[in-house]
Amino acid sequence: MAASALDPDECLSPHWEIRQKDHVKLVWHKPFEGVGRVRALAWTCDCRAVVYELLQSGGQAFIRKTTQAEPTPEVEESHRWPIEEARRVWHALLLGEMR
């Protein structure tokens, strides 16, 4: 993750936009213990210090926010939503409309 020298053209995953001034604030909480299997539906590029992942667990999905830091990254999670709604939140988050 020594990404400072990374050529932006080499990034394969999307980057989030700077949050908009009137963005909707999402609630972030400590990761929920005892999750079953989760499947990554989408994720943002890890060349940024903050990486978001859209994760599916059963019939629901949520967003995991990882702030890369030494020695341990900080991990937070959003609420869980039905998958369709989670996808809408995901796109709004990438566009900076929610954060």
The residue whose two tokens read 């994720």 is 43
**Residue 45 makes contact with Zn ion by CB under 5 A:** yes
Distance CA(66)–CA(40), nearest Å, equals 14
Among the listed residues 26, 38, 47, 95, the single contact to Zn ion using CB under 5 A: 47
- Of the candidate spans 8-16, 57-65, 67-75, 87-95, the one that interacts with Zn ion by CB under 5 A turns out to be 8-16
50 binds Zn ion (CB under 5 A): no
Q: CA-CA distance, 82 to 39, in Å (whole number)?
A: 14
Q: Does 75 bind Zn ion (CB under 5 A)?
A: no
Residues forming contacts to Zn ion in the complex (CB under 5 A) are 11, 45, 47
